[in-house]
Amino acid sequence: MPTFSQLELDFSSGVSTNVNGGLVQMSNDLPEDADIAQKVVQMQPQLEADPQYADRFQPIGEAAIELSTEGQFVDESLLGNLVMDILRSAAQSHMAISTSSSFRRQISPGTILYEDLHAAMPYTKPHFRLWHDGETSARASKLQCLL
């Protein structure tokens, strides 16, 4: 689960009197900052109208349920499984692999905009491709089982 550092410093007469902090897990449960939310509401129409970014706000599909990333760092996730199944099918492959960190956020139910997809997977090109036959895959699987 992604985290950020939160640090609280107390000062008295220019001298640090207390230091507290720790890691905070990122989630949709964190409170929204009202000032930033207001700025986003004001700036969003300008962004959507900007010719450089307007295509990012076009609908590209529908999701009946949330395409979650939950569990992606310890097991599988719904979004990861869907994307890898699509990739495997498009490549006519028996296997498709990605790092769990490739999936940055869930895709909410309803209309999916290109921007939603880009926010969930902010990559435009594959980083690495390897083509080999099934025998090589089978040998790699056996090797992984031995490790």
What is the spatial distance between Cα 100 and Cα 54, in angstroms, rounded to a whole number? 29
Cα–Cα separations (whole angstroms), residue 45 to 41, 84, 114: 8, 33, 16
| Digitized pLDDT (tens) for each residue of the chain, 147 residues in all | 578 898 999 999 988 899 999 998 887 788 889 999 999 999 999 999 999 999 999 999 999 999 988 878 778 888 888 888 888 888 888 888 888 888 888 899 999 999 998 889 887 766 555 556 666 666 655 544 444
| Whole-structure pTM value | 0.62
